[in-house]
Structure 1
């Protein structure tokens, strides 16, 4: 699935402008409609392409919100059954075929009893990826965006004051920190906790460095999306934390 998304994303086409004549399923179904929407909304707001990027990003995130909620609920369900799952794994720790078969059977029974689908948390991610990558392509390949400025920066050039990269890194950090605070399974898995702790700092720094060199239009998209995800995580996870 990841390979398919990589192929669909058309990594080699980032420098090619998107137009109505652009060929291929990826361009015609995903990238061009988003590019067209950005242009039309910008025209409505007196060619404010920065505001248009913000609006389209929020619209895309709102459309994807049900999938995010489903993913979060699925992850929480998996966390709730971790103690019982650990007991089953300890009970059938032997590596022989019969024991492993019993392990699989009892694990599936546990999932079924608690209404947990281990794949439910992964599927929303695969559905979201083409849309989010298409947004990246639409912004990078829409030539009209490069000719306009928004607030203090030119959309087609990196932020000269490094404000957007700092905001991007900050809200990426906050989003991951919030998600980690609700992930109780890390308490029972020290190795996972270490990996998540490393990613907590590595990912924001990496995204922030990218934002230093990429056009400010793309950094604006990242900032808007990250702020939306922070607010969404607060709204969705707070009731869950209260009920625990």
Structure 2
């Protein structure tokens, strides 16, 4: 969890660097050169324009549809991440036993602890880094959306509902909703995860840091990007609820049963 927090901050910093230092003012076209432009920014720009034109030149709806398409493409990875998180949670008792077995902090003991922990992960086919993969994959897409929106005149010059897609939301509704939906999504994801006090503290940090960071970015960036965040978060909330729903209901029922016995 601590590594995830550091990775998230690092990726966010990279995002700020890329959005500030790359050719944001250069229009994106089919003739744009470079791997970044050719394989990420231009395809996203083309896809948004094409779908928007099919929807009667409604670029807001086009961004919503493309966001859902991206989420469906990432769905298998997100399902795998959720299952991996559940498996990691199930391993916590055995991992605690290993820590109790090797309490010493000397290098030899810690190496033995690490070896047996990795053997435990291998035995149950659990990848401790799987939680970082969605962040790593989504960040280029997020930055690509920013460039596609900022560098495509057709997108930046259109409006949707009360806001211009190429400018920040003037009344800050989208940034606030983006922050709230991020919080809800994180809360549902963490529901039912019984962790040790240190890990629980780190999870709580994630729960509050992530929404604040998203809101700060959304206040500054084009409203189209905030729209992408909101739609993506709502999709993730529904997806996580469907995947974790049975477990959450079971936990709620067990809690209710325990309360009645008391």
* TM-score normalised by structure 1 residue count: 0.87
Match of 2:189 in 1: 179
For residues 90 and 164 of structure 2, the distance between their equivalents in structure 1, rounded to whole angstroms, comes to 48
Matched, 1:222 2:229: yes
Match of 1:72 in 2: 82
Match of 2:34 in 1: 24
Distance 1:240 1:132, change over 3 A: farther
Q: How does 1:87-126 map to 2 (within 5 A)?
A: 87-126=97-136
SS at match of 1:184: coil
The number of equivalent residue pairs is 239
For residues 103 and 40 of structure 2, the distance between their equivalents in structure 1, rounded to whole angstroms, comes to 47
Matched, 1:61 2:71: yes
Matched, 1:238 2:245: yes
Alignment equivalent of 2:43, drawn from 27, 30, 33: 33
For residues 108 and 194 of structure 1, the distance between their equivalents in structure 2, rounded to whole angstroms, comes to 24
Matched, 1:207 2:214: yes
Structure 2: 5+ residue stretches without partners: 1-6, 252-262
SS at match of 2:29: coil
Q: How does 1:138-149 map to 2 (within 5 A)?
A: 138-149=148-159
Structure 1: 5+ residue stretches without partners: none
* TM-score normalised by structure 2 residue count: 0.81
Q: Which moved more, 1:117-126 or 1:149-158?
A: 117-126
Partner deviation per Cα, 1:78-126 (whole Å, 9 max, x = no partner): 1111111111111112234443343233223322322222233333432
CA contact (8 A) 1:70 1:121 kept: no
Match of 1:197 in 2: 204
For residues 117 and 89 of structure 1, the distance between their equivalents in structure 2, rounded to whole angstroms, comes to 19
CA contact (8 A) 1:178 1:233 kept: yes
Q: Which moved more, 1:34-43 or 1:89-98?
A: 89-98
Q: Which moved more, 1:122-131 or 1:219-228?
A: 122-131
Deviation at 1:33?
A: 0.5
For residues 85 and 194 of structure 1, the distance between their equivalents in structure 2, rounded to whole angstroms, comes to 18
Alignment equivalent of 2:162, drawn from 135, 143, 152: 152
SS at match of 2:131: coil
State the superposition RMSD in angstroms: 2.5
